[in-house]
Amino acid sequence: MSGPRVIAVVPARDEADAIGPVVAGVLALDGRFDVVVVDDGSTDATAAVAAEHGAAVVRLPFNLGIGGAVQTGFQYALSKGYALAVRLDGDGQHDPGELPKLLAPVERGEADIVTGSRFAGENDGYRPPLARRAGIVWFAKLVSLLTRQRVTDTTSGFQALNRKGIALFAGDYPSDYPEVEATLLVLKHRLRLAEVPVQMRERTHGTSSITFLRSVYYMLKVTLALFVAMFRRYTLPEEKARP
Amino acid sequence: MTPVRISLAAAIASILLILVVLELIRGRRLKERYALLWLVTGIVLLVLSAWRGGLNTIAGWLGVSTYPPAILFAAATLFVIVLLLHYSTVLSELHDRNVVLAQRVALLEQRLQELAGRSPGAPEEEGAERELTEPRERAR
């Protein structure tokens, strides 16, 4: 029960069937977790269900896409003064039970941001389709090369962050397919990134938003974005925070 | 030398363009910031069409020997491309601002609801707020 409070940022769009157990799962962990669900223009009862289960709900007036929704969640965390945050998806593929494991390195002060990686350790639970796996490997290698730090999973949206990470993502978060670029952003800002092996569950409801053609488009777009981002100048978040 | 009729037609078109742009600025329907590019376009086209020897001179520099008035088209096309690119940057900027506004509105709305929920003496307002923002909850 002791220690600073932790905010769980959960972006969700049309996840009325899945969001309840996600919120309940986080709140059931221990007493220090709060949940904010960012409803990204849902047309179903996502917001109402999340509120019923005890989450704070931020409803975007229209669909911003996953990046805009996640950023909104971190803006909420920043304005409420949370020192620790976790992020997990609203569709149920991230197991809230893994959150303490994700948080541990941040709490020990060993990392500013910890990503739950499906490929960091031995892992037999998660086997994405070939095209997706190729994409994941491609980006992991590319980001590792660009930043000279080994990362195994740049597309994971399962993360834990300290105040520095929250401030960074609240101020600047990529838009369309954000996780890969966000990984680069973290390393370019010299925040310490660590990975923890996690299992991911199959989606409990609905279908993944990534189809084959979209994967191709996604890979091209994100690769371009990565190279452009390499040549962008960054200010450290501490500097930015000063008025 | 550019044929007189081409010169005349192009000059009239350029002058019309400039007049329309000026009128739009006067009526505050076009921000000066965007109007500037249009004005420059009009003026350059006007100069190119009125300066009859000029077209040949420039065509000579660029190695266009068959039909010097093609330079007019080239110049116009170039400006159109620059204008379109300019619009893309404006659109991107508007898009970014739109996102920031949506996020602020959403966070403020959440804060408002939180405060309304806590304050004890405003039952009607709280009810109205819920009706306004969560109609589906009632429908279920």
Query: Residue A10's beta-bridge partner residues?
Result: A37
pTM (predicted TM-score): 0.77
- Residue A57's pLDDT band (boundaries 50, 70, 90)? very high
Tell me the pLDDT of chain B averaged across its residues: 80
- When mean pLDDT is compared over A63-72, A138-147, B31-40, the highest value belongs to A63-72
Question: Which residues lie closer than 8 Å to A169 by C-beta, 6 or more apart?
Answer: A70, A71, A74, A161, A182
Alpha carbon B76 to chain centroid, angstroms: 17
Q: Count Cβ–Cβ pairs < 8 Å, chain A vs chain B.
A: 47
Q: Mean of the pLDDT values across residues A114-120?
A: 85
* Whether the Cβ atoms of residue A29 and residue A94 lie closer than 8 Å to each other: no
The verdict on a CB contact (< 8 Å) between A72 and B134 is: no
The verdict on a CB contact (< 8 Å) between B136 and A68 is: no
pLDDT tens by residue, A125-142: 566 677 777 888 888 888
Percent of chain B at pLDDT > 90 equals 26
- Residue B119's pLDDT band (boundaries 50, 70, 90)? low
The verdict on a CB contact (< 8 Å) between B103 and A48 is: no
Residue A23 confidence (pLDDT) above 90 = yes
Query: Of residues A240 and A150, which shows the higher confidence score?
Result: A150
* Extents of the domains making up chain B: 4-139
Cα–Cα distance between A41 and A60 in angstroms, integer? 6
Question: Among residues A38, A60, A225, which one has the least CA distance to residue B99?
Answer: A60
Q: Is A63 near chain B, with CB under 8 Å?
A: no
Residue A74 confidence (pLDDT) above 60 = yes
* Tokens at A46, concatenated: 């996502």
Question: Which residues lie closer than 8 Å to A92 by C-beta, 6 or more apart?
Answer: A15, A18, A21, A22, A201, A203, A204, A205
Q: Is B103 near chain A, with CB under 8 Å?
A: yes
Interface mutation vs chain A, best among B92, B107, B112, most A CBs within 10 Å: B107
Nearest C-alpha of chain A: how many angstroms from B102? 6
- The fold for domain A6-241 equals Spore Coat Polysaccharide Biosynthesis Protein SpsA; Chain A (3.90.550)
Of B102, B105, B136, the CB nearest to A48: B136
pLDDT tens by residue, B1-55: 677 888 888 899 999 999 999 999 888 888 877 788 888 888 988 888 888 788 7
Q: Mean of the pLDDT values across residues A153-174?
A: 90
